[in-house]
Amino acid sequence: MLKKPYILAIVSFLAIPAVFLPAMMLITFIDPEIALRTSNYERNFQLVSVVKQLCMLAVSLVSMGLWFLACFFLIQSKKQSYLWLPLAALRPFGLIILSMLRDNAPEAEDYYQQFVSKLKIYFRVGYELIFFVVAWVAAFQVMVLKRDLMIMYEAATTGASTAQIIDRQNASSGMYAFSEALEVLFLVSFFYLLSPLCFNLAGRFLRPGTFAKA
């Protein structure tokens, strides 16, 4: 039911956090202050700082490459022109546009493509707008749930009160807001990638052949 390029698109997409998060955690252990134990502190401090910056740049480039790879496979799965690939630079909004492209070679049991291809333009626009809102609201709620669970976990493991943890987060609100915004963007993109799969599973197991006969 899933084309190989589409599976590769999902794998490439999920590889981004799988690579980025552990790598960045490891990079935090590269502390330029280790130069204090050396004879030439200033030079060694700069060298370690450069190494840390290069590692961060390398991880960012790998993540960016995986993102473009995911978009590349998504375009390939739809048999669309690779001229659409520059839209990947728009990050989640580019992926949203790519996910809405027509599949020029749909599978026989691709109920999602059968469904959207039969929608009138105004119904298609309405459907996409509704899904856009639902995806963003759902992503935000998942992020809030994850944040609350992490606060509860930290309170249980450290003994600190939830109020203390929230106050500490509020003191670094800019950093947490940026991190949570990235989580929401990631989840929205993921929902768009998964929506055809979920739609097809529902069509196959709940009402098989419904859209094929419509």
Mean per-residue pLDDT, 139-150: 91
Say if CB 52 and CB 58 are below 8 A apart: no
CB atoms < 10 A from the CB of 159, how many? 8
Q: Tell whether 82 and 18 lie within a shared domain.
A: yes
Instruction: Answer for the pair 101, 185: CB distance below 8 angstroms, yes or no.
Output: no
How much is the pLDDT for 33?
Answer: 77
Average pLDDT, the chain: 86
- Angle (CA) 140-143-145 rounded to 5° is 110
Q: Are residues 64 and 121 in the same domain?
A: no
- Asked whether 162 and 151 are in contact (CB, 8 A), the reply is yes
Contacts of 8 (CB under 8 A, 6+ apart): 69, 73
Question: Is the same domain home to 145 and 74?
Answer: no
Q: Which of 60, 80, 100 is the last residue of a domain?
A: 100
The whole-number average pLDDT for the span 96-111 is 86
Position 1 scores a pLDDT of: 58
pLDDT above 70 for 202? yes
Shared domain for 113 and 195, answered yes or no, is yes
Residues with Cβ within 8 Å of 127's Cβ and at least 6 positions away in sequence, in order, are: 116, 119
Alpha helices per DSSP H over the chain: 4-27, 41-77, 92-99, 111-117, 121-158, 162-171, 173-205, 210-213
Is residue 90 domain-shared with residue 115, that is, in the same domain?
A: no
Give the chain's domain count: 2
Is 196 found in the same domain as 143? yes
* Residue 17 near residue 62 (C-beta atoms within 8 A): no
Average pLDDT (8-29) is: 91
Q: Which SS3 state, helix, strand or coil, does residue 12 take?
A: helix
User: Do 1 and 31 reside in the same domain of the chain?
Assistant: yes
Q: Which of 100, 130, 163 is the last residue of a domain?
A: 100
Position 134 pLDDT exceeds 50: yes
Q: Are residues 49 and 141 in the same domain?
A: no
Alpha-carbon distance 32 to 91, whole Å? 33
CA pair distance 3, 78, nearest whole angstrom: 9
**pLDDT for position 76:** 94
| DSSP assignments along 83-117, one per residue | GGGGGGGGTHHHHHHHHTSPPSS--TT-HHHHHHH
Asked which of 100, 118, 146 is the last residue of a domain, the reply is 100
Give yes or no: residues 153 and 111 share one domain: yes
Whether 191 contacts 139, CB under 8 Å = yes
Does the pLDDT at position 143 exceed 50?
A: yes
Task: Give yes or no: residues 91 and 112 share one domain.
Answer: no
Domain span including residue 27: 1-100
Contact assessment for residue 177 and residue 79, using Cβ atoms and an 8 Å cutoff: no
Per the model's pLDDT, the better-predicted residue between 212 and 86 turns out to be 86
Regarding whether 204 and 116 lie in a shared domain, the answer is yes
Expressed in percent and rounded to 5, the helix, strand and coil fractions of the chain are: 80, 0, 20
What is the average per-residue pLDDT within 53-81? 94
Mean of pLDDT values over 15-36 = 85
Q: Do 32 and 91 sit in the same domain of this protein?
A: yes
What's the whole-model pTM score? 0.82
